Structure 1
Amino acid sequence: MKQIEIAGLRKGVSRLIMGSDYFSPEIYDLVRHNLDAFVAVGGNTIDTAFIYREGRSEQAIGMWIEERGNRSDINLWTKGAHPNHDGNRVNRAAIQEELSISLERLRTNYVDLYALHRDDTDVPVGEILEILNEQVEAGRILSFGASNWTWQRLAEAQSYADSHGLIGFSFNSPNLALAKAKEPYWGGCISVDEETLQWHEQSGLPIFSWSSQARGFFTGRFTRDDHSDADLVRVFYNDENWERYDRAQKLAEQQGVSTIQIALAYVLNQPFNTAAIIGPQNEAELLSCRDAAAIELTEEEIKWLDLKA
C-alpha cells in the first residue's frame, strides 16, 4: 500500500487509515481480527481519539498493540481537546491531561500523530503551536495536525510557525468526500469546499479525510426516495450529490468496480497527498477499500465526478 511521508515520523502513513470509533474492549475479538486484517493488506496507521467510546477505543488499541508487540510498526494517531460540558479544551492543561490519559490507555509513551479534535478561535494560533511544540520536545508526540480547522486558520498557523522557527501542522483532517455535506454531520465539523481544495493544492499540506465514503451514501443501500437515515438525508441528500452518485455508478460500471470504490478513489486521487480513514467491520469491506486504493483516476474523471466538467 502506498504511504505518505510526514515530517517527524519514523515511517510513512498508509493511505488507508483504520478508523476505530466502534472499538472497545468488550468486542476485542472483533478489534483484533480487523486490525490483524488491516495490517495484512499493508495498513500501518490507526486513528482514534480521547473521546471515542469514552476512551474504550484507545484501550482496545492498546490491548492489541501490547498483545502483538508491534508498536514500532504502527503509527498511532489520537486526537484531543474536543469541547466537553465545561466548554472548549484547546489549552495547555487540558491537552497535557488528556494526552497523558490517552498514552496510558494506548499502553505507550508516545503517539506518532496527534491532532486537535476541534479549533478554538479565541486562542491565538501562536499559543497553540507553542503548546504542541512542547509536546514534541517532550517526546510525547512525533508529529501533529488539526482536525476540523478552516484553511484560513491553518494558513495563519503555517505562517506563524515559519516566522517563529516552530514545527507547524503536518496534516489536516476534515471531511473530504465525493458527496458534499450540506451542513456539519456533527457540531463544529469542517467539510472541504473548493477554496479548501485549492489551498491544499497550493500549500501541499496532506489531508487525512474522515467520513471519506460519505457515511455510506455510495453503498447502493440508499435511494432518492429512501429517507430512513435521517442524518444521511440531512447532510447529503440533494440533487447535486445524487448526480455525483449517478456519475460514480456509471464510471464504476465502465471500470468493473463498485460505486463506493469510485467514491473512495476520488478522495485518494486528488492533486495533493491524501489518506482516507476507513471503518471496515469485516473482511469484505476491508478488501473493497484495499482495491479502491489501487484505482487510478484522471484529472478529467475527478472533475467530471465532481460536476466540474
Structure 2
Amino acid sequence: MQYRRLGNSGLKVSEISLGSWLTVGAASDSGLPERIIDRAYGLGINLFDTANVYHLGEAERIVGRALAKYERSSYVLATKVCVPMGDGPNDRGLSRKHIREQCDLSLKRLGVDYIDLYQCHRYDPDTPLDETLRALDDLVKAGKVLYTGVSMWKPAQIVDAVRTGSELNLNRIVSSQPQYHMLLREPEQELIPLCEREGVGQIVFSPLAQGALTGKYEPGRQLPPSSRAVDPKQNGAISRWISEDNLKRVQRLKPIADQTGLSLAQLALAWILRLPSVASCIVGASRPEQIEHNARASGIKLDAATLNAIDSALDLED
C-alpha cells in the first residue's frame, strides 16, 4: 500500500481507503463488516471513512468497534456532519449547535477520543460560513478533531471557506470529497485545479461508478439478480451510470485493462490516482476479497499511451 499527503497537511493516508456508505450497517451477516475492515487494515489501508447519517449512526458504531482492537495512532478515522439526523429544526446543517452536538455523538458512537478528519457532508446555505468555520476550529483547538474537510462542496464554496478561514486565522480545511470517476469528469474542469492551487487534497468517493466500472453490468443484458442495481433501496445512485452508452464505454475499456494486466476496477482506480492531488480513493466492499482486489491498484502507474487509449475508449480524446 502506498500513502500520500492529504493536501498541504502532514497527514498521510492510504491511496485506497474503505468507506461505509452502502455496505457497513446493511450486511445481513453481522460479523461481515468487521472481517472486511480487518482485511483492509491488514492490507495497509489506514483511512476509514464514515458519516453520522449512515444508517443513522450504526455505521459509526460498527466501524468504531472493528477498529477498537488496533492502536489508535495506526489508522485515520474520518466522519461527517450536516445531513439531517432527526426531525427537529436544529437536527441538521452546519450551525455551531449541530456541529458541536453531532461531534460529541460521533465520538461516542466511534468509541474514540478524537476524530482525525471531520468533514462537512454538504454545504449549508442557512448558516453563515464563518460560524461553521469557527465551530470546526473550536473542535480542533479542543482536541476533538485533528483536521477538517468538506464533501460535495462546489468550487466557489471551497474558495470562500479557504479565504474566510485565512482572514479569520482559523485552521484551514485540508480535504474535499467529490464524486469522481471515468464516467464523471466534471471535477477536472474547476474543482480539482482550484484545490491544487489552495492545497486542498481530494478523497474521491464512488471511484467505480457504483460498480459500473467493474464490468459486471453489460450492455443489452439483464442486470445480475444479486447486484445492488436491482435493489430498489440501493439502486438510485447506480442507475445513472448503467445506461447503454456508459456500459458500451466500459466494454471498450476491457482490452486496455487486459493489456495492462489489470482488472477493470483496478484500471479505474489507478486512472484516478494518476492525479497527484488525489490522496485516496474510497471503495466499498461486500466481502473481504473485494477490498483485497481493489487494494492492488495502489502504486500502479499508467503510461501516457494507456491514458490516451482510455480517453479514446471514453470518447473524450482531445
CA RMSD of aligned residues (A): 2.5
Q: Deviations over 1:18-72 (max 9, x none)?
A: 1123224974421221111111111111111101112111111222233x14222
Residue 188 of structure 1 corresponds to none
Confirm whether residue 63 of structure 1 aligns to residue 68 of structure 2.
Answer: no
Contact kept? 2:6, 2:200, Cα under 8 Å: no
How far 1:126 moved relative to its partner? Answer: 2.2
Contact kept? 2:40, 2:292, Cα under 8 Å: no
Matches within 5 A, 1:281-292: 281-292=286-297
Distance 2:11 2:156 in 1: 29
Q: 1:271 to 1:282 in 2, by over 3 A?
A: same
Residue 185 of structure 1 corresponds to none
Distance 2:309 2:123 in 1: 33
Matches within 5 A, 1:94-105: 94-105=98-109
Matches within 5 A, 1:130-145: 130-145=134-149
- Secondary structure at the aligned position of 1:263 is classed as helix
Contact kept? 1:28, 1:60, Cα under 8 Å: no
Q: 1:201 to 1:226 in 2, by over 3 A?
A: farther
Distance 2:176 2:272 in 1: 14
Distance 2:128 2:306 in 1: 40
Residue 78 of structure 1 corresponds to 79
How far 1:258 moved relative to its partner? Answer: 1.1
Q: 2:112 aligns with which of 95, 108, 112?
A: 108
Confirm whether residue 260 of structure 1 aligns to residue 265 of structure 2.
Answer: yes
- Secondary structure at the aligned position of 1:269 is classed as coil
Q: 1:288 to 1:34 in 2, by over 3 A?
A: same
Residue 186 of structure 1 corresponds to none
Residue 277 of structure 1 corresponds to 282
Contact kept? 2:8, 2:199, Cα under 8 Å: no
Contact kept? 2:6, 2:279, Cα under 8 Å: no
How far 1:217 moved relative to its partner? Answer: 0.3
Q: 2:124 aligns with which of 94, 113, 120?
A: 120
Question: Which consecutive residues of structure 2, in runs of 5 or more, have no partner in the other structure?
Answer: 224-228, 230-234
**Taking every aligned residue pair, what percent have the same amino acid on both sides?**
27
Contact kept? 1:9, 1:142, Cα under 8 Å: no
- Secondary structure at the aligned position of 2:62 is classed as helix
Q: Which runs of 4+ in 1 moved over 6 A?
A: 7-10
Residue 234 of structure 1 corresponds to 240
Contact kept? 2:217, 2:242, Cα under 8 Å: no
Distance 1:258 1:271 in 2: 22
Q: Deviations over 1:188-240 (max 9, x none)?
A: xxx7352223323433421111111110002222123247436433345263x
Residue 14 of structure 1 corresponds to 14
Q: 1:235 to 1:257 in 2, by over 3 A?
A: closer
TM-score normalised per structure 2: 0.84
Q: 1:233 to 1:224 in 2, by over 3 A?
A: farther
Distance 1:76 1:286 in 2: 17
- Secondary structure at the aligned position of 2:119 is classed as strand
How far 1:304 moved relative to its partner? Answer: 4.6
Contact kept? 2:285, 2:291, Cα under 8 Å: yes
Q: 1:153 to 1:289 in 2, by over 3 A?
A: same
- Secondary structure at the aligned position of 1:172 is classed as strand
Residue 220 of structure 2 corresponds to 225
How far 1:140 moved relative to its partner? Answer: 0.6
Question: Which consecutive residues of structure 1, in runs of 5 or more, have no partner in the other structure?
Answer: 182-190
Q: 1:106 to 1:197 in 2, by over 3 A?
A: same
- Secondary structure at the aligned position of 2:44 is classed as coil
Distance 1:299 1:95 in 2: 44
Letter paired with 1:75: V
Q: 1:215 aligns with which of 210, 213, 225?
A: 210
Report which structure shows greater RCO (CA 8 Å, sep ≥6): 2
Confirm whether residue 174 of structure 1 aligns to residue 155 of structure 2.
Answer: no
Deviates more, 1:70-79 or 1:289-298: 289-298
Question: How many residue pairs were aligned?
Answer: 298
Contact kept? 1:205, 1:273, Cα under 8 Å: no
Residue 226 of structure 2 corresponds to none
Distance 2:304 2:205 in 1: 22
Confirm whether residue 198 of structure 1 aligns to residue 193 of structure 2.
Answer: yes
How far 1:5 moved relative to its partner? Answer: 2.4
Residue 34 of structure 1 corresponds to 36
Distance 1:9 1:56 in 2: 30
Contact kept? 2:204, 2:282, Cα under 8 Å: yes
Distance 1:54 1:164 in 2: 33
- Secondary structure at the aligned position of 1:146 is classed as strand
Distance 2:264 2:133 in 1: 40
- Secondary structure at the aligned position of 1:115 is classed as strand
Contact kept? 1:201, 1:271, Cα under 8 Å: no
